[in-house]
Structure 1
C-alpha cells in the first residue's frame, strides 16, 4: 500500500473579518474589518444591471454594492467609492480580492517589481450568479476577506530562486527554491538542456495517490524539480487543493500538461484558443485578471499542442503585464528576463507566442 500523500501545513488563520447577516432586511449587512477597521454597513442585492450606490446611514460610511458584468459573466463587489473589492467569475473557483498592498520581486532574474493589492484565492465551489447568498460563500468570505493567509501569489513565490525551505511536521520540504528539471544527457544549452515532466510529487519526493486511485512514485533524479505545468499543479493543486488528474486522461481535475489544462472544460476561457499559429495570437488581452492561467505555443516540435503555461500577476511598476512560470532557461519558477521577458504586452517572445487564457 502506498504512503498517503503528505500535505503542506495550512497556516494558522487569524480572523480579520466579521460578517453579520440581517434576514429581516432586503440588504445584506457586511462588516469588513481591515487595517484601519473601517466599516461599510449595507450591501445591495445583486442585479443584472449596474447597481447604484445609495447613501450610508452612518457619518463617514457608505454602501457597497454587488454588480453583474459580462464578457466574461461575473459578479463584482464594489466599495462605497465605486472601487472593486472582489471579483467572482461564473464557472471559476479563483476569486480576486482587494487587500493590503504587497511587492513581489526576483532580484536575481529581473528588475521588474509587481506591487499589487490583488489577493487571488480558491473558493470551495465554482461561482454562479447569486452565489453571494449561499452559505458556503458567506462562510468562505468571512474567513478570507481581509485575511493575510498565503494566497496563490504568495505560494507561487515560495518556489522562485533562493526561496527559503519550508517543512511540514513530518519533515517533508514542501516549499523552497525549485528547479525546472534534471539536465538532459542528450541536450545542450538552449536546446532541451533540461528534461520536462517533473511534477509536484517529484519535487516533494513522495508517492502520491490521486482521487481515482492512481498511485505515482517520484523519480529521485527529479527531486526539487517542477516543469511549467508541474509548477501550476503544485500551487493550485497540492497547496491550494484544486483536484488533480494523474495524467491528461486519468481521473478528474486539473490535467497534467499545459495543453491538457488549456483544452479542458474547467473554469472559464477568458481568451479562447483560436489556433496555434502566429495569426492566432489574441488581438487584445485587456480581459486578463490576476490569477488567470495563460497558455503559449513556443516550440514547433510539439505540433498541435500548447507547450507552456504560467499565471498572470497583473502589471509591474513599469506598466507591463507580467506572469510567473517555471522555465528551462532560468531553471525554475520565475518572472525573470532570461530566455524571454515575462511580459504579455508588446511583441516580445512570450507576448507573441501566447494563445489563450483560462480563469480556473
Structure 2
C-alpha cells in the first residue's frame, strides 16, 4: 500500500470517509459528473465513468485541507483535516495519486501474489507545478476526482489482462478493451518461455485494428496479424495515451508526449525521472509511487540498453515491489512470474535488469 509520510497522528476517520465516498459513488448517479476519454464513447458509462463530489461525514472530502511540500521528488501532498494523505501531485508530471477505497489485484494463472492498494492513479488536466492548488480550476476538479469511482489507470490497465478480461466496445463497434496478447507467434522459437516466442512490434493501433493519425500528420496502419496485440511499450501507450489522453507521437526521439519504444520513453517521455538510469540496478526504491513507469535492460548482449517497460503497482502481499507489463511468456499484460518474477527488488531476472523509473 502506498503512503506519503504523515507527520500527524491519524485515526479511523480516513477509513470512514472513504467508505462513505464509495457508498455515495455507488448510489448517486444524478448530480455526479462524467467525461469522455480518448477511445471511450459518452454512451459507455463504464468506460467513461461517473463520479460524485465525495462528501464524507467528517468533512475530509470537502472540509479544511493542507498542502504540504515534500522533496525527492518535489511534490505537493494534500492532507485532510485529520492529517491523512488525500492526494499527491509531483512537479513536472500529470500523474496524480489519490487515496481511495482499498482494492486487490491478482492473477492466479501466473502468480500467487496479490497487490492490495488504496492508491487510485489519475491523470491531471495540466502538468503539475508548485502552487497550482491556487489555480481557478483546481478546487472543483479536486473535489470531483477525490470521490470518483470510475476506472482509474490501474483499473483500465487490468481491462487488458492476459488472464482474461471482458471485451468492451464503443458505439461504433470498435473493441477498445478486452484481453490483450503480446504479439504473433514466432515459429522459429520453440520454448514458450523464451522472450522471442511471441513477436514484439505491436502498438496500440494494432490492438485496436484501426488506423491512427498522429499530431504531426503521420498515419499508422495496423497489421491484421497483430489485431488484439500490444508489446510492452505499446501497452503503456494504449493505457496512458489512447485511454487516458496523454499525447502520443510515432518516433523514438524527443517530442510532445509518449514516444514508441521503451528506451525512448525512458529517455524522452513526458513527466520526470524519479529514478535516473545510471546503468546499474537502483538500491533505493523509496521514491517510487504507484503508476510510475519502470524500465529494464534485459538483453544479455546489451546490458545497458533499455528494452522493456512496465507500470509499478506497489507492494504485494509479500512486501515486494511488483510491476505490471505486457510480456511474451504470459502473452500479454501480466503481474505474474512466468519467465521471471514481476519484481523490482531482489535478485531475480527483472530485478537485476531494473534501471530507471519515470512519472508521467
**Shorter-chain TM-score: what band?**
0.7 to 0.9
Corresponding residue of 2:121: 120
Which residue of structure 2 aligns with residue 33 of structure 1?
55
1:254 aligned onto 2:277:
no
What residue in structure 2 maps to residue 182 of structure 1? 184
The alpha carbon displacement at 1:304 in A equals 4.8
In 1, distance between residues paired with 2:298 and 2:61? 50
How far apart, CA to CA, are the structure 2 residues paired with 1:41 and 1:325?
A: 33
Q: Secondary structure at 1:135's aligned position in 2? A: coil
Work out which of the two has the higher radius of gyration on C-alpha atoms and give 1 or 2: 1
Deviation at 1:64, TM superposition (A): 3.1
Partner-residue secondary structure (3-state), 2:237: helix
Task: Measure how far apart 1:191 and its partner are.
Answer: 5.1
TM-score of the aligned structures, taking structure 2 as reference length: 0.83
Aligned to 1:327: 327
Q: Aligned residues, how many?
A: 316
- The residue that corresponds to 1:8 in the other structure is 40
Written as runs of structure 1 = structure 2, the 5 A alignment for 1:202-351 is 202-249=206-253, 252-264=256-268, 266-275=270-279, 280-302=280-302, 304-351=304-351
Compute the displacement of 1:71 (Å). 0.9
Distance 2:219 2:74 in 1: 38
Structure 1 residues 261 and 287, CA gap change in structure 2 (3 angstroms): same
**Would the aligned equivalents of 2:232 and 2:308 in 1 still touch at CA under 8 Å?**
yes
* 2:322 aligned counterpart, secondary structure: strand
2:196 and 2:291 map into 1 onto residues whose CA distance is 28
Show structure 1 runs of 5+ residues with no match. 1-5, 18-31, 44-62
Cα separation, 2, equivalents of 1:148 and 1:323: 23
Structure 1 residue 323: deviation in Å? 0.7
Q: Counterparts of 2:197 and 2:169 in 1: how far apart (Å)?
A: 30
Structure 2 segments unaligned to the other structure (5+ residues): 1-37
Q: Which residue of 1 aligns with 2:69?
A: 68
Q: What's the Cα RMSD here? A: 1.8
Work out the CA distance in 2 between the residues paired with 1:165 and 1:42: 37
> 2: CA distance between counterparts of 1:358 and 1:38?
36
How far does residue 111 in structure 1 lie from its aligned partner after superposition?
1.1
Regions of 4+ moved over 6 Å: none
TM-score by length of 1: 0.83
